[in-house]
């Protein structure tokens, strides 16, 4: 099985030993505490599940700057984005050696992790600007990732963490949320040797479904892990429960038994385009996938990134040998009227735009809202019905 990034085995930071867990929960109640950002809580969940192996906790500013500028930490290890615990006010924990991190996304703000405080550093305007520009390729405050990153505060609390729960993901998505540890175990149980991973924050239409089939066939994969983002999205994106239901229906009806897993992970979308594509590949290697599909404008938003920037970054910026996972590079896929099937548009050079069934997101939402299913060449009818029910109940 493919090794995790920079390690021989996963290093999940969740405290699984029940006695140690109980002791930490008891200790946490007496520790100084801080309410962390939604982004930091998502990072804690990902570290708890092993996705950020081999990180032991939140980065200091030197490591965060290295990740942003070079994708390399101070010790020479690879990591593609800063992973910071940024807060607006650290006065309540000054001088503390251990603190409790409280979850902003669960009622009552329970403790999500305990952190050893190695340092509390105030990021300068210049450091915040560099990390923003390098990670997101823009400093536009209208970019949702830029706004979220810069809205957390300037005080970076660094140090190792011990994770005590998986926030709302385990309770809200019990059938879908999986740690990297769990996915690796399920891959072993299936007996899969080559595994394709597919990232989504949207429902999967016919083109997405067929892209997964194409990738599996061309890589000789035994299995597919559909890995959906369950954390916070931008306004207007379809909620995770609706996406989950539509994707499960698609897999049930249109994939052979035991060939595809529907899973999800607890992380807030960055919308960082190329850098987030690298982070997504990092996650997927750690969860055991050997191949990862990256298509047009992967993890992008608006017009901030070129159509294939999320693919070329692996050639131009990722340090050689940093990742073992192989990238399956995909173009936009659509139904060809000439060939009567879904194809990657770059592989149909004799086609014009009119030869494909293409619908804008706005048009699709309008149709669904009016109770009209998109054509069968665009969406499976069973999937469309789930989305129609959602839009008509808004």
Helix (H), strand (E), coil (C) string for 288-302 = CCCEEEECCCCCCCC
Nearest one of 239, 217, 219 to 228, comparing CA atoms: 239
Nearest one of 312, 328, 306, 298 to 216, comparing CA atoms: 328
* DSSP state letter for 205: -
How many H helices and E strands in the chain?
13, 15
Residue 36 CA to residue 200 CA, distance in Å, equals 26
Which residue in 98, 137, 165, 202 is the catalytic one? 202
Q: Is 265 exposed, middle or buried (0-12, 13-18, 19+ CB in 10 A)?
A: buried
Q: What tokens appear for 177 in the block? A: 């949320």
| Coil/strand/helix, residue 167 | coil
Work out the angle between the directed axes of helices 274-286 and 125-136 (0-180°, nearest 10).
Answer: 80
Which residue in 98, 201, 329, 365 is the catalytic one? 201
Q: What tokens appear for 247 in the block? A: 């994707």
Residue 34 CA to residue 45 CA, distance in Å, equals 17
DSSP 57-101: EE--HHHHHHHHHHSB-TTS-B-SS----EES--GGGTT-SEEEE
For the question of residue 43 being annotated catalytic, the response is: no
| Coil/strand/helix, residue 209 | helix
b/e per residue, 163-178, with b = 16+ CB within 10 A? bbbbbbbeeebeebbb
For the question of residue 102 being annotated catalytic, the response is: no
Q: Find tokens 């536009």 and name the residue.
A: 140
Helix (H), strand (E), coil (C) string for 331-370 = CCEEEECCCCEEEEHHHCCCCCHHHEECCCHHHHHHHHHC
Residue 322 CA to residue 315 CA, distance in Å, equals 12
Residues tagged active-site: 201-202
């Amino acid at each position: 099985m493919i090794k995790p990034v920079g390690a021989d085995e996963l290093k999940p930071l969740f405290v699984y030993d029940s006695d140690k867990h109980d002791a930490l929960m008891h200790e946490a109640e007496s520790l100084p505490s801080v309410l962390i950002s939604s982004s930091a809580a998502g990072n804690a969940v990902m570290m708890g599940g092993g996705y950020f192996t081999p990180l032991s906790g939140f980065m200091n500013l030197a490591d965060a700057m290295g990740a942003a500028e070079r994708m390399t930490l101070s010790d020479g290890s690879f990591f593609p984005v800063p992973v910071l615990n940024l807060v607006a006010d650290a006065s309540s924990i000054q001088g503390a050696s251990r603190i409790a991190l409280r979850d902003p996304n669960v009622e009552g703000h329970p403790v999500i992790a305990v952190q050893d405080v190695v340092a509390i550093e105030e990021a300068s305007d210049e450091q915040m600007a560099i990390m923003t520009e390098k990670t997101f390729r823009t400093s536009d405050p209208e970019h949702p990732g830029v706004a979220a990153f810069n809205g957390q505060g300037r005080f970076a609390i660094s140090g190792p963490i011990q994770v005590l729960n998986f926030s709302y993901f385990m309770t809200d998505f019990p059938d879908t949320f999986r740690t990297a540890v769990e996915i690796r175990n399920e891959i072993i149980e299936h007996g899969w040797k080559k595994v394709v991973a597919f990232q989504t924050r949207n429902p999967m239409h016919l083109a997405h479904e067929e892209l997964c089939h194409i990738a599996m066939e061309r890589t000789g994969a035994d299995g597919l892990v559909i890995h959906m983002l369950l954390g916070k999205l931008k306004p207007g994106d379809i909620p995770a429960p609706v996406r989950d239901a539509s994707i499960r229906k698609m897999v049930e009806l249109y994939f052979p038994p035991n060939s595809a897993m529907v899973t999800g992970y607890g992380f807030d979308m960055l919308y960082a385009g190329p850098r987030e594509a690298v982070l997504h590949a990092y996650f997927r290697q750690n969860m055991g996938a050997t191949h990862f599909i990256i298509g047009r404008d992967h993890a992008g938003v608006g017009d901030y990134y070129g159509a294939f920037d999320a693919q070329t970054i692996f050639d131009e910026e990722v340090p050689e040998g940093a990742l073992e996972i192989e990238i399956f590079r995909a173009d936009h896929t659509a139904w060809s009227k000439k060939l009567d099937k879904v194809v990657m548009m770059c592989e149909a050079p004799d086609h014009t735009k009119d030869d494909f069934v293409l619908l804008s997101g706005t048009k699709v939402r309008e149709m669904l809202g009016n109770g009209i299913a998109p054509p069968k060449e665009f969406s499976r009818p069973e999937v469309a019905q789930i989305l129609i029910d959602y839009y008509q109940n808004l």
